[in-house]
Amino acid sequence: MYNNWADLENACLQCQKCGLCSGRHNVVFGVGNRRSKVMFVGEGPGENEDLRGEPFVGRGGQLLDKFLTAVDLDRRSNIYIANIVKCRPPQNRDPLPEEQESCINWLRNQFALIRPKIVVCLGRVAAMRLMKPDIKITKEHGKFIDKKGTLMMATLHPAALLRNPGQKPAAFEDFLKLREKIDELGCDIAKQE
């Protein structure tokens, strides 16, 4: 465990713990306000993210940003976004269990430094890994569960919403619930500064 961001990021950027390192252009470490109390976690970088070194910058990311803006959240001010794996799986396949295992300590260290009050899992892979292995995201999205004092919620993955636009209203409800919960807990740092 690293107790400061500079050392953590520096070590992560040099990681070679699994085979994904061989195909990467960039390690996608994470983005956002490191003092925020709300964290979003996706599954892993896609092509655009690998090229830019930032999570959720493709079409899915643009949709995510729209939803965030609508509830006064912003990756540059009051949230932090990371992924389960920091390097792009080839052909955008799901990260393998052993790749997740090799990478998860980076995320654990990010959690340890941020100490989020709320974690939103973007999609099935993150929800299965962080919430429960048998989660049925189509049924259980939008529901908060308390895990050792951190509230966790899964929502549908932005890429899934691009494939099934009919699910967008249901996903947007999750963001409204998230906003309510943030206000209830008083944990929006943009409103505290």
Q: Which residues bind ligand URA (CB under 6 A)?
A: 28, 42-46, 49, 55-56, 60, 83, 122-123
Query: Between residues 28 and 127, which has the closer beta carbon with respect to ligand URA?
Result: 28
Q: How far is the CB of 68 from ligand URA (least distance, A)?
A: 14
Tokens of 146: 């308390």
Q: Which amino acid is at 184?
A: E
What is the secondary structure of 142-167 as a DSSP string?
T--EEETTEEEEEE--HHHHHH-GGG
Q: Which of 90, 83, 29 is nearest to 60 (CA)?
A: 83
Query: Between residues 124 and 187, which has the closer beta carbon with respect to ligand URA?
Result: 124
Q: Which residue's Cβ has the minimum distance to ligand URA?
A: 42
Query: Between residues 37 and 86, which has the closer beta carbon with respect to ligand URA?
Result: 86
The strand pairing partners of 82, in sequence order, are 41
Q: How far is the CB of 88 from ligand URA (least distance, A)?
A: 9
Q: How far is the CB of 133 from ligand URA (least distance, A)?
A: 18
Longest dimension (CA), the chain: 44
Query: Between residues 83 and 187, which has the closer beta carbon with respect to ligand URA?
Result: 83
Q: How far is the CB of 102 from ligand URA (least distance, A)?
A: 17
